[in-house]
Amino acid sequence: MKYTLRAFALGLLTATALLAFAYSQQDPSQAKETAPTKEEAASLLEEKGYTILTENEYTQLTEKASPEQNADSDEQQKQEDKEETSKPTGDEEGSVKAYTLSIEEGMVPEDISQVLAQNGIIEDAEGFRAYLVDNEFSRYIQIGEYTVVNQMSFQEIARIITR
């Protein structure tokens, strides 16, 4: 152990000496400024295929895009409303309602329970979320698509989405 420690210390000393020698041989007048000027940066970005905008140009473009996005979201909302009104309610006692649950990366138990509640599979979204967390199912939720039915218990749904 004693010799190993001495060898390590000798290695550190040698490395420090080499770095000190290299630093002392460097001429400060040869050091080049590393930060490019605005013109150099702009030309480099344009060569790489990027477009450079001023702040005013950027705000104008975002303002033009905002009404288009709002119009698209309004159309999507209207289409979703039409789909909801055309679907049968399925609130009758004894009716079976199936739903294909799509779990994507980044979804948390709260998101899953909200989706299930919105689609009429479960009635208590917060209760299902608490069930997943309390019984440690939330740690094992798998990404994928699962068919669930409104007559399933919390335990059955949890076992399906955790495989």
The residues near 46 (Cβ < 8 Å, ≥ 6 apart) are: 52
Domain ranges of the chain: 106-162
Q: Residue for token digits 């060569």? A: 47
The CATH architecture of the domain made up of 106-162 is 2-Layer Sandwich (3.30)
Judge contact between 52 and 45, C-beta under 8 A.
Answer: yes
pLDDT digits (tens, 9 = 90+) for 114-147: 999 999 999 999 999 999 999 988 888 999 999 9
The residues near 36 (Cβ < 8 Å, ≥ 6 apart) are: 44
- Give the rounded percent of residues in the chain with a pLDDT score beyond 70: 79
Q: In which band, very low, low, confident or very high, does the pLDDT at 82 lie, cut at 50, 70 and 90?
A: low
Burial of 115 (0-12, 13-18, 19+ CB in 10 A): middle
Mean pLDDT throughout 18-23?
92
Angstrom distance (rounded) from CA 12 to CA 120: 68
